[in-house]
């Protein structure tokens, strides 16, 4: 069986098995699916076409036997000369003195390595006695551990394929194989390890990409279906008229993207299924308005609503703006960590008696003593700032409440449908009309003084500015010192009429609040800050955002920061101070100056940083694929998603005999227990 332990393969003894275990290879199947992490493509080209410093392959005849020199501790250099196309090429090989025995004068050798066009020299990383068998040779390269060699792994896989190949079952229904011209599982496996040609390898990879993505999409969609059907939610019968009137009371009309998202949410509220939805939209796209209307709908259905945000300042700000919008339509309360004692107890009592309709708060909302009378709708803002457990804790305060997550970090579509495949996604991809775009500039460090002069001018006109210093770790002393020093410098630089404030993570909560409220009241004109978080507030009078060492931020973060300005009537500016060394850094700065669309930026960010980095290390929610690549395999992902939807919708796993092996394969996944019958 494919699940046999690896030691059933000839050549895999205890010691080999130990090394394989370090690579998480325990069974025959694990080994067969241990794919190379890259391929070396050997292709012989004429010397005149070789590019300096490229990895190249040449074929030649050995002119002189190698000589070996030793140096340092057990280090050696082996040199010899080969003749190719009538030219003498010098070959150098490090720490492989043993090769001297194999490389004899007059022998024909194939050498692969880095080419030095000036010296006509190759630094050999791989050699082979004899010529290449084919014009192009594709050699798989595996990650290794312990005493394993690439050769050994190849041998083991060959043996495994010979011993077990006949047991490898095709589980993709034939219609897909035909439609997408996908090679069978066995053939594709062989090709991954022993590629006969570039084209064959491409098709094999295509197969596994599709297979992985289809299985994953099926899993997500099955889970979504189960959650909807098996955990009955509430069919909220909200008051359509009242909701309409509420919307009409706004000083603006909703954008069509807002309306569309709102309808998707209201439809979920009405349905007996439990809502599990992500609302994404750029900073300032009007998510709060949509959230407020949704909360109101729940209230008119006789339920309570909760809005959880990551910081106290944000909670207060949302509280104020919601109170403003609602007037006396609903009873709204604020619950944060700094609300204590009698006041807190009173809020808890009133929540329990449903004298409060909507509560806005921080983590304080998920403490044990918080009880609702009938919580119908939970909204989590900036959802990525909360852990999975925290999000669940809030949801568990009600009986199957509907849940809406909001994020202002636009997530590239590929990641959204992967990481959030078990959620429905609504997107506000349109800004309210009449917004002025923030003008963005990239300045070198030596232009900082000119930037400060510009700030001085705008402050004289009554405007305000942020200056952000990067903060990598909340506890990073050095970074805080940066901000403290910069603050000092600016106090000296600006005339005394300009008040420079300082904000960083080491300040006490009260201190932060005080700085923030002084800034909001224009008592502080220029705010130096390390903390991105605490500036997540609305100060429409601030028109300049300067980001120091901007190359240390990702594109999405920079975009978030930029979203702090451009909130009022006046033209706003974002100035990125950076001297990036590498091309990627420069490219990032250029993209920022050219693009103000958060979704476009997030796609670019994904391309530049890769999916792992995009979400940061802490929580990615992304599955690890062996072959599929979320950046490049976008079309395959769409196809897999569409096919998965069709399979789930038409219940093909239950009704179609062609889908039984696929079903069997899915049943192996513990997350799908109780989902398939």
> Of the two residues 375 and 379, which places its CB atom closer to ligand ADP in the complex?
379
C-alpha span between 325 and 641 (Å, rounded): 40
Query: Which of 380, 418, 395, 386 has its CA nearest to residue 274?
Result: 395
Angle (CA) 491 492 494, round 5°: 70
Least separation in angstroms between residue 565's CB and ligand ADP is 13
C-alpha span between 298 and 292 (Å, rounded): 10
> Of the two residues 288 and 602, which places its CB atom closer to Mg ion in the complex?
288
Give the H/E segment covering residue 66.
strand 55-71
Residue 414 interaction partner, one of Mg ion, ligand ADP, none, beta carbon < 5-8 Å per kind:
none
Least separation in angstroms between residue 294's CB and Mg ion is 14
Query: Which of 390, 401, 429, 399 has its CA nearest to residue 413?
Result: 429
Considering CB under 5 A, how many residues would be counted as binding Mg ion? 1
> Of the two residues 173 and 281, which places its CB atom closer to ligand ADP in the complex?
281
At 162, list the tokens.
């010979």
At 185, list the tokens.
């599982």
C-alpha span between 666 and 671 (Å, rounded): 9
DSSP notation for 207-219: HHHHHHHHHHHHH
At 115, list the tokens.
């080419």
Residue 403 interaction partner, one of ligand ADP, Mg ion, none, beta carbon < 5-8 Å per kind:
none
Least separation in angstroms between residue 558's CB and Mg ion is 18
Parallel/antiparallel/unpaired status of strands 375-380 and 402-407: parallel
> Which range binds Mg ion by CB under 5 A, 49-57, 283-291, 542-550, 659-667?
283-291
Least separation in angstroms between residue 257's CB and ligand ADP is 9
Query: Which of 677, 441, 462 has its CA nearest to residue 577?
Result: 441
Least separation in angstroms between residue 540's CB and ligand ADP is 8
Residue 286 interaction partner, one of ligand ADP, Mg ion, none, beta carbon < 5-8 Å per kind:
ligand ADP
> Which range binds Mg ion by CB under 5 A, 118-126, 284-292, 432-440, 589-597?
284-292
Secondary structure of 549-584 in HEC code, one letter for each residue:
CHHHCCHHHHHHHHCCCCCCCCCCEEEEECCCCCHH
> Of the two residues 191 and 288, which places its CB atom closer to Mg ion in the complex?
288
Secondary structure of 241-283 in HEC code, one letter for each residue:
HHHHHHHHCCCCCCCHHHHHHHHHHHHHHHCCCCCEEEEEECC
Binding site for ligand ADP (CB under 6 A): 252, 254-255, 258, 281, 283-289, 408, 432
Least separation in angstroms between residue 285's CB and Mg ion is 9
Instruction: Give residue number: closest CB to Mg ion.
Output: 288
> Of the two residues 234 and 285, which places its CB atom closer to ligand ADP in the complex?
285
Least separation in angstroms between residue 306's CB and Mg ion is 16
Residue 284 interaction partner, one of ligand ADP, Mg ion, none, beta carbon < 5-8 Å per kind:
ligand ADP
Least separation in angstroms between residue 292's CB and ligand ADP is 8
At 369, list the tokens.
């003593």
> Of the two residues 212 and 382, which places its CB atom closer to Mg ion in the complex?
382
> Of the two residues 379 and 467, which places its CB atom closer to Mg ion in the complex?
379
Least separation in angstroms between residue 300's CB and ligand ADP is 21
> Which range binds Mg ion by CB under 5 A, 179-187, 238-246, 282-290, 386-394?
282-290
> Of the two residues 288 and 572, which places its CB atom closer to Mg ion in the complex?
288
> Of the two residues 183 and 284, which places its CB atom closer to ligand ADP in the complex?
284
Helix (H, G, I), strand (E, B) or coil at 235: coil
C-alpha span between 135 and 125 (Å, rounded): 19
Give the H/E segment covering residue 18.
helix 14-22
Which residues would be at the binding site for Mg ion (CB under 5 A)? 288
């Amino acid at each position: 069986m494919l699940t046999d332990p690896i030691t059933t393969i000839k050549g895999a003894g205890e010691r080999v098995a130990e090394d394989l275990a370090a690579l998480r290879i325990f069974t025959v199947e694990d080994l067969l699916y241990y794919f190379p992490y890259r391929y070396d493509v050997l292709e012989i080209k004429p010397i005149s076409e070789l590019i300096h410093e490229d990895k190249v392959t040449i074929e030649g005849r050995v002119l002189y036997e190698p000589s070996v020199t030793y140096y340092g501790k057990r280090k050696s250099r082996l040199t010899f000369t080969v003749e190719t196309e009538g030219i003498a090429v010098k070959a150098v090989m490090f720490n492989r003195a043993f090769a001297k025995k194999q490389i004899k004068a007059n022998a024909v050798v194939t050498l692969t390595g880095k080419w030095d066009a000036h010296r006509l020299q190759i630094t050999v990383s791989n050699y082979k006695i004899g010529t290449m068998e084919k014009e192009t040779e594709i050699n798989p390269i595996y990650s290794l551990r312990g005493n394993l060699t690439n050769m050994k792994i190849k041998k083991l896989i060959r043996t495994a394929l010979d011993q077990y190949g006949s047991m490898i079952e095709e589980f993709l229904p034939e219609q897909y194989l035909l439609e997408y011209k996908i090679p069978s599982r066995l053939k594709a496996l062989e090709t991954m390890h022993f590629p006969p040609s570039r084209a064959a390898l491409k098709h094999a990879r295509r197969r596994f990409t599709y297979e992985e993505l289809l299985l994953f999409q099926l899993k997500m969609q099955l889970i979504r279906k189960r959650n909807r059907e098996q955990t009955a939610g509430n069919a909220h019968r909200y008051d359509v008229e009242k909701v309409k009137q509420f919307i009409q009371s706004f000083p603006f009309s909703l954008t069509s993207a807002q309306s569309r998202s709102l309808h998707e949410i209201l439809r979920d509220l009405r349905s007996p299924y439990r809502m599990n939805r992500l609302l994404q939209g750029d900073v300032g796209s009007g998510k709060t308005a949509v959230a407020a209307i949704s909360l109101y709908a729940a209230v008119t259905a006789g339920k309570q609503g909760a809005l959880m945000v990551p910081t106290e300042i944000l909670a207060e700000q949302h509280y104020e703006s919601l109170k403003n919008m609602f007037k006396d339509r609903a009873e709204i309360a604020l619950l944060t960590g700094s609300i204590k004692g009698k006041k807190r107890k009173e809020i808890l009592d009133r929540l329990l008696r449903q004298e409060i309709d909507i509560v806005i708060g921080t983590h304080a909302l998920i403490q044990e003593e918080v009880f609702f009378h009938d919580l119908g709708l939970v909204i989590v803002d900036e959802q990525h700032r909360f852990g999975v457990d925290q999000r669940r804790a809030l949801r568990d305060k009600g009986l199957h409440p509907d849940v809406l997550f909001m994020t202002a970090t636009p997530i590239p579509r590929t990641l959204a449908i992967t990481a959030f495949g078990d959620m429905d996604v609504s997107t506000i991809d349109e800004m309210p009309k009449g917004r002025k775009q923030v003008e963005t500039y990239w300045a070198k460090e030596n232009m900082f003084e000119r930037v400060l002069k510009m700030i001085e001018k705008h402050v004289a006109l009554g405007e305000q500015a942020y200056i952000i210093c990067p903060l990598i770790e909340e506890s990073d002393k050095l970074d805080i010192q940066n901000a403290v020093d910069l603050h000092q410098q600016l106090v000296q630089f600006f005339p005394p009429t300009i008040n420079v404030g300082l904000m960083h993570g080491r300040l006490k909560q009260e201190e932060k609040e005080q700085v923030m409220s002084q800034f909001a009241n224009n008592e502080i004109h220029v705010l130096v800050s390390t903390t991105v978080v605490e500036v997540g507030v609305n100060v429409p009078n601030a028109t300049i955002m300067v980001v120091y060492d901007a190359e240390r931020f990702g594109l999405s973060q920079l975009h978030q920061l930029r979203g702090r300005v451009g909130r009022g009537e006046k033209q706003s500016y974002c100035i990125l101070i950076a001297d990036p060394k590498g091309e990627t850094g420069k490219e990032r700065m250029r993209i920022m100056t050219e693009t103000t669309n958060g979704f476009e930026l997030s796609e670019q960010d994904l391309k530049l940083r890769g999916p792992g980095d995009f979400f940061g290390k802490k929580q990615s929610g992304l599955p690890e694929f062996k072959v599929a690549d979320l950046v490049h395999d976008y079309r395959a992902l769409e196809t897999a998603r569409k096919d998965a939807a069709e399979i789930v919708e038409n219940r093909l796993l239950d009704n179609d005999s062609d889908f039984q092996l696929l079903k069997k394969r899915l049943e192996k996944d513990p997350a799908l227990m109780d989902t398939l019958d």
